[in-house]
Amino acid sequence: EVQLVESGGGLVQPGASLKLSCVASGFTFSDYWMSWVRQTPGKTMEWIGDIKYDGSYTNYAPSLKNRFTISRDNAKSTLYLQMSNVRSEDTATYYCTRDTMGVPFAYWGQGTLVTVSS
Amino acid sequence: DVVMTQTPPSLSVAIGQSVSISCKSSQSLVYSDGKTYLHWLLQSPGRSPKRLIYQVSNLGSGVPDRFSGTGSQKDFTLKISRVEAEDLGVYYCAQTTHFPLTFGSGTKLEIK
């Protein structure tokens, strides 16, 4: 069974940095592209970016590219999202997702909530 | 960015009725490989999103055939035949043809 478990969320102050993790199990992690998607408190869904199965290539939403970095450790079956200089508008639930046959969003984790507030 | 416009924002239906949700994109979603990367997701209350339909009309694993997707180019529809109580939640369309990937604003389905 495919499982994606995010962690690392919490309350963070504006301007700080935060690193989220997503541990995968039930499949060969190194075979799949992975993505991060966030959902705001108002339920708006926003794609953050994705990373190739071997970690050699990433894509980002232009609005987040300068502050967010996606990486992965295939030996640990773990996906990461490094967030820097966070702002109140980054408050959201962050999901990692896995593709199937090259099509994103086939599987989702349970999400981790990030709240940016002083 | 490709703007995805979903209508209606919400709807209320009785068990056993059929409903349709519209999703229109600001650009054609046909990719250079000839395929159309338009997908439908359902987020049930308190749950993570789940992909229902991929590439316009292909049912995801375990998705009942009461769900169907149609459309082409810029105009797409999700139809639910014989709505059941478990179908309540928020439905999103999403396109993965163009970067950045984008989502519709969602359609909330309530059961009367």
How far is residue A84 CA from its own chain's centroid? 13
In degrees and rounded to multiples of 5, residue B105 shows phi and psi of -85, -5
Q: How confident is the model at residue A39 (pLDDT cuts 50, 70, 90)?
A: very high
Percentage above 90 pLDDT, chain A: 96
B39 — contact with chain A (CB < 8 Å)? yes
- pLDDT of A102 reads 78
* Chain B CB contacts of A100 below 8 Å: 54
Res. A55: pLDDT tops 90: yes
- Chain A 11-40, residues with CB within 8 Å of chain B CB atoms: 35
| Closest CB from B49, B55, B102 relative to A108 | B49
How much is the mean pLDDT over chain A?
Answer: 96
- State both tokens at B83: 């709505």
Instruction: Tell me whether the omega of the peptide bond preceding residue B100 falls within 30 degrees of 0, making it cis.
Output: yes
Three-state SS at A74: helix
Contact A85, A78 (CB under 8 A): no
Q: Among all residues of chain B, which has the CA nearest to that of A105? A: B51
Q: What is the mean pLDDT of residues A72-84?
A: 98
- Cβ-contact B25, B39 below 8 angstroms: no
Which band of pLDDT confidence, cut at 50, 70 and 90, is reported for residue A22? very high
Residue A100 confidence (pLDDT): 86
Task: Check CB contact of A47 with chain B, cutoff 8 Å.
Answer: yes
Which residues, 6 or more positions from B105, have their beta carbon under 8 angstroms from its beta carbon? A44, B4, B5, B6, B9, B92
What's the CA gap between A47 and B106, in Å, rounded? 15
Query: What's the pLDDT at A26?
Result: 97
Mean pLDDT of A20-40: 97
Asked if residues B2 and B25 have their Cβ atoms less than 8 Å apart, the reply is yes
Handedness of CA A77, A94, B104, A48 (dihedral sign): negative
How near does any CA of chain A get to the CA of B102, in Å? 6
B22-78: pLDDT as tens digits: 999 999 999 999 999 999 999 999 999 999 999 999 999 899 999 999 999 999 999
Please state the rounded mean pLDDT for residues A47-66: 96
- For B54-73, what is the HEC assignment? ECCCEECCCCCCCEEEEEEC
Residue contact A105–B41, C-beta within 8 A: yes
As a whole number, mean pLDDT of residues A19-46 equals 97
Residue range A17-41: mean pLDDT, rounded: 97
- Residue A103: per-residue pLDDT: 84
Task: For residue A105, give the nearest of B94, B102, B106 by CB distance.
Answer: B94
pLDDT band at residue B87 using 50, 70 and 90 as cut-offs: very high
